Structure 1
């Protein structure tokens, strides 16, 4: 990768429970293991990413909320983590930022402006968008160069995908013409069943959405890690961590060497 060229990737799906936050935390840690300098941005008022990286949102004095409203400089709010990624944390205060931002001109650009102040310090910035299509997600998509969609391999996985893709198209038309939809990331994947593959094939066919390699398997380690405020990438070896390392390598080769992202053959 050309130094000084920061890659900004949003992870978005307005449906909850699709391993979105797990994807941001695990992908960030895996990219850090590849010697990339990584900033992760928690845009969810629930602060799940912040908690999963070892910080209690209830104990923080400043967060991305203050940065978006211009009350704090972004550099003063960033936190270190045990996963060697830098965190722009969230607290429940962020729920109020949505209403406050709506009253401001240029509200979709607040995050983009803030990230511009620190972008040169990082190789990769990952944005954990909230499970909605409100002004916070619009900020994430406006600030990003690319977006991926975590998609759980279950029957109703495609519900909302069309709406999200329409939102991405609107962002491309209005606030961020350069935004690229890279594809879906298959989560909660069960290789023992044809059902998982059938669901992904249906989504890929219906929306023309490529599915990035490798799929992320269903594993109890994700639930254990998020509940304890630790990363699935640390501790004993597990198949979830191995899959996220593979996804990180896929993306890094795309960014660093200009290779096309590897996608699944669902035929």
Structure 2
């Protein structure tokens, strides 16, 4: 089984867009895929696929299951929505309260481990048996959402912005991985670094050279495709569906990007 978390310490780098497109790419390879959205923001990967419409407090949510099954309203599988063949556990407003809920549960029960609850939920419900790939999209801010995602998957895929911010990210990636390992007492593998937004700017080329010279695997580089990815969000679909159903005629440079997303998914499947 392949499990991984999409994580970047910087927001706005295309993390959720990458997560959604990789999920669809895995499904197009014939794999059963579960995408878990742990990002409480409205513009999360759930919004990309139009499955973020049930966010009321009276609706069951993954956050409730992670605190206690006693708080949940039904089986965790009842949370699942499906888009483009991918099963999705959508974002929910209660995810904003999740860190506080987990801390309170720890106070009530000293044996309760806040960072292990997502893995426990998936295990108790035998969710792993149903899927070949599970990928998780948490928020960029470090904390219990990220800790639970990484503890459950043990692998990272790291999208990086090609800018000064992205440069600092690659320099600090060793520290990020080491910090997660220390915090969670597990081994964490950074399976791929994915530079996003490449243009012809000399600064972008310089940062890309530094990233490719690092010890991390850089299987693909995604060029600046604002029109393509903006269209995905407008149409609430993956890039694969967008170029097939909403581009006529298809554009060669966008097809090249779709092929790179497909190649990246295949590279990740090879490490499972």
Partner in structure 2 of residue 33 of structure 1: 28
CA distance in 2, matches of 1:164, 1:111: 24
What is the CA distance between 1:108 and its match in structure 2?
Answer: 0.2
Q: Which residue of 2 aligns with 1:111?
A: 118
Listed one character per residue, the Cα deviations across residues 58-92 of structure 1 (whole Å, up to 9, x for unaligned) are 456233222222333322211111x1111011112
Q: 1:169-208 to 2 correspondence within 5 Å?
A: 169-190=178-199, 192-203=200-211, 205=213, 208=214
Count of aligned residue pairs for this structure pair: 246
CA shift at 1:181, angstroms? 1.5
**1:166 Cα shift?**
2.6
1:165, 1:78 → 2: CA distance? 34
CA shift for structure 1 position 13? 0.9
Match of 1:226 in 2: 233
Unaligned runs of 5+ in 2: 107-111, 244-249
Indicate if the aligned counterparts of 1:12 and 1:20 stay in contact, CA closer than 8 A. Answer: yes
Show structure 1 runs of 5+ residues with no match: 1-5, 256-267
- Residue 16 of structure 1 corresponds to 11
Kept in 1, the 8 Å contact 2:103–2:114? The answer is yes
| Deviation sequence 1:113-141 (CA, Å, 0-9, x none) | 12223011101111102110011111111
Matched, 1:243 2:244: no
1:146 is aligned to 2:142: no
Shift of 1:212: 2.2
User: Is contact 1:65–1:90 with CA below 8 Å preserved after alignment?
Assistant: no
When Rg is computed on C-alpha atoms for both structures, the one with the higher figure is 2
CA–CA distance in 2 between the matches of 1:108 and 1:195? 38
Check the 8 A contact 2:191/2:268 in 1, yes or no.
Answer: no
Which residue of the partner structure matches residue 67 of structure 2? Answer: 69
SS at 1:86's partner residue? Answer: strand
Q: Does the CA contact (< 8 Å) of 1:78 and 1:88 recur in 2?
A: yes
TM-score (norm 2): 0.82
Distance 1:185 1:159 in 2: 15
Could you say which structure has the higher helix fraction? Answer: 2
Alignment counterpart, residue 210 of structure 1, candidates 209, 212, 216 = 216
Matching residue within 45, 70, 73 for 1:49:
45
Candidates 116, 124, 136, aligned match of 2:133 = 124
Question: Do the aligned partners of 2:16 and 2:137 also contact (CA within 8 Å) in 1?
Answer: yes
| Kept in 1: contact 2:13–2:160 (CA 8 A) | yes
Contact 1:40 1:86 in 2 (8 A): yes
Q: Secondary structure at the match of 2:209?
A: helix
1:194 CA drift (Å): 4.2
Q: Could you say what the CA RMSD is over the residues aligned between the two structures, in angstroms? A: 2.1
